[in-house]
Every structure is written in structure tokens, then in C-alpha cells.
Structure 1
Amino acid sequence: MTLKDSRDLYDRALSVLPGGVNSPVRASIQPYPFFVERGDGGHVIDADGNRYIDWVMGLGPLLLGHDLPQQVQSAIQKQASAGPMYGAPTEIEVELAEFVSRHVPSVEKVRFVNSGTEATVSAVRLARGYTGREKIVVMQGGYHGAQESTLVEGGPESPSPSTKGVPQSFAEHTIPVPFNDTEAIERVFEERGEEIAGVLVEPILANKGIVSPVDGYHETLRKLTREHGSLLVFDEVITGFRVGGLACAQGKFDVTPDVTTFGKIVGGGFPVGAIGGRAEIIESFTPSGDVFQAGTFSGHPVTMAAGLKTLKYAAENDVYDHVNDLGEQLRSGLTDICADQAPEYTVAGTDSIFKVLFTRETPVEGESHCEAGCEQRTDCARYTRCPKTGADVGNTEIERWNRLLWPAMFDQGVFLSQNGFESQFVSDSHTEEDVEQTLEAYKHAL
């Protein structure tokens, strides 16, 4: 396999782009990233003509894969040919908002924005404006985009910025707690409940190795926020319209938040974000309320057309049955492979997301175990040893995953997410043959 053209492109990129990329995760690949020329179904072809099974799918947005169905392509092309944008409302944004509000339990009204980061920025401002409070609770290891309110590390009593450029005074309004730790969140609300505007949480930690909630955790968040007049905000930028189908992860877990943020799939592969929730809360956004929110490209008609047609196609063509079935085949196969070759490792994921976590401890012996991805089942023999928090994932063998597994899979023509934290995604364009080839590659790589 040659990567000469990718190397040359990276050499050029280093002269004009910081780090040679426009998002840092793309530079995680050593010694340099490969450059993609085009997509083909469930595959990508790089600048040197090499072909790979693609389980990254743009880091999640491509539910249908790279080859869009004809009706989806036609809708995008028709809208683009009518002019790229107008700075005025269009019918298509109303139709997409109606579709989302019909299917997602928490959503009565929607405000469209341009990225998942913009959605969570706006949701934090909304929570503060609606409640009149300043503190935001986040999960350690959760990811809510490149924004000042959530680029915070530490504990409830000692939050600090996780990057240069964020003032300490910003971090002081954020309260990080461990995901899945009921005692910690109860203690925070007992001590500071009257200060808390909202709890911002991914239903599944999906940017830190995939960690599912333990039984009752989200119900506890729901109960505490209601009792203290705070908002429960689900960040479904990754899980939205992927986990739980059209009802999203909140439908799967049967917990209805006050506000939900979206991105990725809701735009059909184009730049997008959205904030949805109860009408009385979303109405707090200007111009109907006094929480300022605006954007030139918000509700972009081409994005709205792509999102609407993608979701309609998924609803009408059994897409979720297909991607979830392949996801289960992958996780089941990986569970068997790990049992034989690396019993200390943990297979994680649900529906159409998956990951192998390089956990360190060998599990205790036991007959009962999760057969197709960690479900945080208390009767599972691995329950006390599988990751429960972002810190648990951080303590796995990340460098081994990055430096040994990733290149070994890449050399066999399998493109996995660029580091040991990011999720991997199944699309409607993937096939059982793709799954079989990938499992064979894992056998050799592990």
C-alpha cells in the first residue's frame, strides 16, 4: 500500500493549515493522515487509490453511507439549484422542524443552528436565561463541542479549563461530576441545587469510548432536576436519530429531557445543529423571548432538504433495522474474538455504534455476560470491571489502541475512528460482507 499522494498533500497542508488539518482528531493518525478522495457506499478511497471499509462515516452523520439514494440526492440538488441561501425563512425548515417534533419525545419546538457545538453553546445560554441561574453540571469525560462552558476538567469543588484560552472565571460556573455516579450528582444538588441552571449530559458517553448509563442513572437526573427547578439537557448530537431510531436515545431509555441538542444526522451529512424542547423553554430564544440566538446560515435550505429526506428515507426503508442488525453482528463477533484472544478487553456500543475498549483487568469467570456490547447489566460477570465513567475509559490502554490496533486495521483496509475514544458507526450502505471482512481483520490485529 502506498500513501505517497497523501504524504504530499499533508506536506502542502502543513504550510497553510495549523497542524495540517481543520479539526485535531484528523491528525491523530501517525505519522500523517491519509487524504480521502471520495466515498463509495460503505467505503472510502484515498488520494492514492486505496480502498477502505469506512466505520467512521464522517464521525457519525452519514446514516445512509456515501452513496445517497436517488430521492435524497434529487432533493439536495433541487434545493441547491434554486439558490444556495436567502437570509429569509423557507418551507423546508418548517417541514424538518415538524418532522423532528413529531418523532422526538422531548421536542415541541426547534431552533436550527450550524453545528453541534453551536447547539450546545445555545442550549447552555438557554438554560441560564430560562432559569436565571449560572451553574451548569457536566459529566467528566463527556463532550459538548468546542465551547468555553464545557471545556472544563476537575471535580465539583475544583473545576478548571481543559484548554488554554478559557478563563478560570468561566470554568467556575461549570460543575463536572462522574458519569453514572448517583451519589456524586445527588450530593451536588443537595449542596448547590438552587444555583444549577441545568445538567448537560450525553445519554451515552459517545465521544469517550462509548459508556452506557447504569440502570436508573438518567431517571435520577430527571428526578433531581425537576425537584430543584433545573433543566435536564440531553446532548444527542451523536446519538440523535442513530440510537433509538427516530425517537433518539431518549426514546430508547424512556427518559424525556427538557431540552435536546442535535447535530450530524439531522442535517443529512451537511453542517447542522439544532436545539429542541418544550415550547415554553424554546420560546425563550429571540425574537419570541429574551435569550439572544442568531446565525446567518441557520436553517440553511440545502441542509434542511438533506436532513428531511434522509430521515424520511430512513423511516420508510427499514434503515434502522439494517444498521442495528449489522451493529449487533459486529459487537457479537467482536465479543467472541475478545473472549478468545483478549478477554480483558470490553466491547461497547448499541444499535449502530461500536467500539473495542482496551480495558486492562481480566474479568472474573461467570456464565452471564453481555453478548453484543456492554449494557451495564448488574448480572454480567464483567459488571464491576467494565467502564462506568470517562475516567475509566481514560485509564484503558489508549496508546496501544492508537499505535497498534489502528494501523493494523488500516493496513488490512479497515478505517476505524482516529483514536481510542471516538465511536464507530454503521451505515445503510454497509453489508454483511463488510462485517465479515472487518471481524477477520480484528482477529489478525488483536
Structure 2
Amino acid sequence: MNHETSRDLYDRALDVLVGGVNSSVRAAPQPYPTFVRKGDGGHVVDADGNRYVDWVMGLGPLLLGHDLPEPVQAAIQRRTSEGPMYGMPTELEVEHAEFVARHVPSVEMLRFVNSGTEATTSAVRLARGYTGRDKIVVMQSGYHGAQESTLVEGDREERGPSSAGIPAEFAEHTIPVPFNDEDAVTEVFEEHGDDIACVLVEPLLANKGIVEPVDGYHETLRDLTDDAGALLIWDEVITGFRVGGLGCAQSKYGVTPDLTTFGKIIGGGFPVGAIGGRTDIMEAFTPVGDVFQAGTFSGHPVTMAAGLETLQYAAENDVYEHVNGLGRKLREGLSEIVADQAPEYTVVGTDSLFKVLFTRRGDAQSGACADGCEQDPDCDRFDACPKNGADVARGAVERWNRVFRPQMLDDGILLSQNQFESQFVAYGHTEEDVERTLEAYRNAL
């Protein structure tokens, strides 16, 4: 494939955009990123005219794909034609919030914001203001956006900011623990329980290779927060309205958090974030309570139209049956390929998420979960499959990034920018896309 235009655009971008990009992960592909000209169903066409099966899907927001169904497209165009935004409330905000509250177990009230980062930042502030406590517990390798309270590395004994520009004092109040380690988080609550405002956790690690929770882990977090008077916050920015359908991951796993953060799909491909939860907690936000939160573009009418119409279309047109069915076909096909060609690797994902992790451990694939790793104790590879982000990071990450992904790209398959990001199935994908992708995996592995 010819990539000269992408190369030239990146060369120009390096002069005017920091690192040539507007979000760090976009610079991960070597030697330069692919510049996209347009989307088409489950595909994208790059600046050189190359066409790819697209499993990035905007890093998750595009549940329906690049071609929006007529009702969704019409709603966006109608709202845009009536003026871009007003700085005042609209009926759409109310309708969208009502839809979310009807379907998501934890949500009684909502506050729309402009990004997943803004949602988690506001949720942490809300938890601290509601409880009157400062400390928060997060998962090592979990991702909750570019905010000071969660850009922390280390463990409960020694920790510090994971980015320059963050005062060390921020890290004093954030306690990282390994995902899926019940003993570690229990010890933290035994030591700091009276000072913990919240536990902030993804239902599954979706930014570090897709790691499912072990049986009982989320129930343990629910019990610990209840007993300590802390809040349980689920970050469903990635999983919201993708895992578990309209009820989100909390309906799939049967645990109801106190607060939930949203992004991506809830905006239908436009910038968005949201915080939802119990009324008594949510009303700690201004103008009812004392926890300040505001934003010029919050509840943006075009975003509200796109998000609401996307979810309504999904509810009425078997969207989840389609995307989850293709996700299962991908994972089952990949499990067969991996068992035959790379038995040390691990197929992961659920619903419309999928990935192959280049794990190093495990001598055989016999008995492995055919539909992606489910953390099944009866599986032959249970002890070898990744349980947290550190396990994923010990894999052959550079082989995936520098050898495997470029080969897939040359074969017309666009995968996530690195080994850690999730890959997403959309309504615009077809069984032909799945078969073509599986064949490319056979060739590359």
C-alpha cells in the first residue's frame, strides 16, 4: 500500500501540532499514523485512498458505524440547522436524560458534560464533596482520563504522579490497587476506610487489553464501600451502552454503583460525557448543593440529538444482537486461530469488544474460553490469563505494536493504535468484514 500522503501530512503536522497529533495515543503507530479521509460503514478510507476494515471505530463512540442511519442523520442535521448551541437548556437534554435513567440501573439523575475526562473529574469531586473525605481508590493500569487525581502510579505504599506537571500532593490522596486483587483492596480499606471517598473502577479494564473481572470482585468492592460509607463509581465511558446493551455493564455484571460516568456512545460520535447516579448524591452538585460543576458546551444540542437518536435506534433495530453476534464470531474464530498458531496468546473481549493479547505464559490453549477469556476458574489457562494491567504489560507488547499491527494494516485491517486499546464492532460491520479480518489474522500470526 502507498502511504505517502499520510507521511507528508504527518511531516506537516509536526510543525504545527505537538507531536503531530491532538491526542497522544494517535502518535503510537510507527513510523507515523494513518490519516483518515472519510468513513464508510465499517470501513475507513485514508488520505492515500487505501480502504480498511475499521475496528477502531473512533476508539468506541461509533456503535452504529460511519454511515449513520437516516433517522439519526436527520436528527443531527435538523438540530444543526436550528443553530449550533444556545447556552440555555433544551428539551433534548431532558429527553436524553430520561432515556438513560429508564435503562441504566444506577441512574436516577444525570449531569451532561463534554468528555469522559470531565465526567470522571466531576464524579471524583462530587464523591469528595458528598462524603467530606479526600482519598480515592483506583485500579493500577485503569484509565479515567487526563485528570490529576487519577494520573497516579505505584501502589498503596509508594505512589506518585504518572505525568509531569502534577503536584506530588495529589498522589497522596489516590491509592492504586491491582485490579482483581480482593486482598489488596480489603487491606486498603482496613487501613484507610474512614478517609476513603470512593472507589473508581472500570467494569472491565478496557484500556489495558480488555481484562474481565474475576467472579466476586465487583461484589467485594460494593461491600467494602457500603461498609465504609464510601461511594462506588463505575467508569462506563467505554463500556456504557456497549457492554450489557442499554443497561450497560452494570446490568451485565449485576452490581449497581452509586455513580456512573459515561462518554463515547452516549454522544453518538460527538464530544460528550455524563455523570449519573442516586438523587441524593447527584444533588450535591450546584445549583442544588455545594459541589461546583458547570460548562458552556454541556448538554450541547447537536450532541444530545446524536446521542439520543443513536440509543433509540439501537433499542428499536436489534443493533446489539448484530454487533454482539459479530463480536462472538470474531472471538471464536480468533480462538481457533490462536490455538493452532500461537497457543501462548490470549483472546479477550465480550459483547462487541475483541482483542488478541500477545501473552507469554501458558503452554496450551486446550480448554481456553472459546468466546474470549471469561476468568473461568475451571479453564485450563485460568492461572495464566491476565488478571490485571501488569499481566497484560508483561506480554510481547512491542511485537504487537511494531510487527503485527503494521502487517495487518498492509492487509487492509485497521486495529487499535497499540496492544492496550480495545477494538470495537459496529452496526456497519458485516460477516464479510469478520471473515476478511480472520483471514488476515491467520496470515499475520
1:72 and 2:34 aligned: no
Contact 1:44/1:53 (8 A) holds in 2: yes
1:250-298 C-alpha deviation (Å, 9 max, x unpaired): 0000000000000000000000000000011011110011000000000
Whole-Å separation in 2 of the counterparts to 1:212 and 1:254: 14
> In the alignment, residue 378 of structure 2 is paired with which amino acid?
D
Contact 1:208/1:393 (8 A) holds in 2: yes
Superposition deviation, residue 364 in structure 1 = 4.9
1:297 and 2:297 aligned: yes
1:55 and 2:58 aligned: no
1:19 and 2:11 aligned: no
1:227-252 C-alpha deviation (Å, 9 max, x unpaired): 00000000000000000000000000
SS of 2:150 mapped into structure 1? coil
1:375 and 2:410 aligned: no
TM-score by length of 2: 0.99
Contact 2:344/2:365 (8 A) holds in 1: no
Tell me the residue number matched to 1:433: 432
Whole-Å separation in 1 of the counterparts to 2:371 and 2:406: 25
> In the alignment, residue 329 of structure 1 is paired with which amino acid?
K
**Identity of aligned pairs, percent?**
73
Contact 1:347/1:355 (8 A) holds in 2: yes
Superposition deviation, residue 99 in structure 1 = 0.2
Whole-Å separation in 1 of the counterparts to 2:8 and 2:106: 48
Tell me the residue number matched to 1:266: 266
> In the alignment, residue 107 of structure 2 is paired with which amino acid?
V
Contact 1:363/1:381 (8 A) holds in 2: no
TM-score by length of 1: 0.99
Tell me the residue number matched to 2:408: 409
Tell me the residue number matched to 1:118: 118
Tell me the residue number matched to 1:352: 352
Superposition deviation, residue 363 in structure 1 = 3.3
SS of 1:38 mapped into structure 2? strand
1:50-94 C-alpha deviation (Å, 9 max, x unpaired): 000000000000000000000000000000000000010000010
Whole-Å separation in 2 of the counterparts to 1:92 and 1:40: 28
Whole-Å separation in 2 of the counterparts to 1:75 and 1:364: 51
Instruction: Compute the RMSD of aligned alpha carbons.
Output: 0.7
Unaligned runs of 5+ in 2: none
Contact 1:63/1:265 (8 A) holds in 2: yes
Tell me the residue number matched to 2:4: 4
Whole-Å separation in 2 of the counterparts to 1:289 and 1:336: 55
Deviating runs (4+, > 3 A) in structure 1?
363-366
Superposition deviation, residue 157 in structure 1 = 1.4
Bigger mean CA deviation after superposition, 354-363 or 18-27: 354-363
Contact 2:416/2:422 (8 A) holds in 1: yes
> In the alignment, residue 256 of structure 1 is paired with which amino acid?
T
After superposition, where does 1:232-271 map in structure 2 within 5 Å? 232-271=232-271
After superposition, where does 1:91-130 map in structure 2 within 5 Å? 91-130=91-130
> In the alignment, residue 260 of structure 1 is paired with which amino acid?
T
Contact 1:363/1:385 (8 A) holds in 2: no
Whole-Å separation in 1 of the counterparts to 2:411 and 2:358: 20
SS of 2:175 mapped into structure 1? strand
Superposition deviation, residue 362 in structure 1 = 2.7
Superposition deviation, residue 365 in structure 1 = 6.9
Superposition deviation, residue 8 in structure 1 = 1.2
SS of 1:232 mapped into structure 2? strand
SS of 1:110 mapped into structure 2? strand
Contact 1:369/1:379 (8 A) holds in 2: no
After superposition, where does 1:90-239 map in structure 2 within 5 Å? 90-239=90-239
SS of 1:175 mapped into structure 2? strand
Contact 1:346/1:356 (8 A) holds in 2: yes
SS of 1:137 mapped into structure 2? strand
SS of 1:185 mapped into structure 2? helix
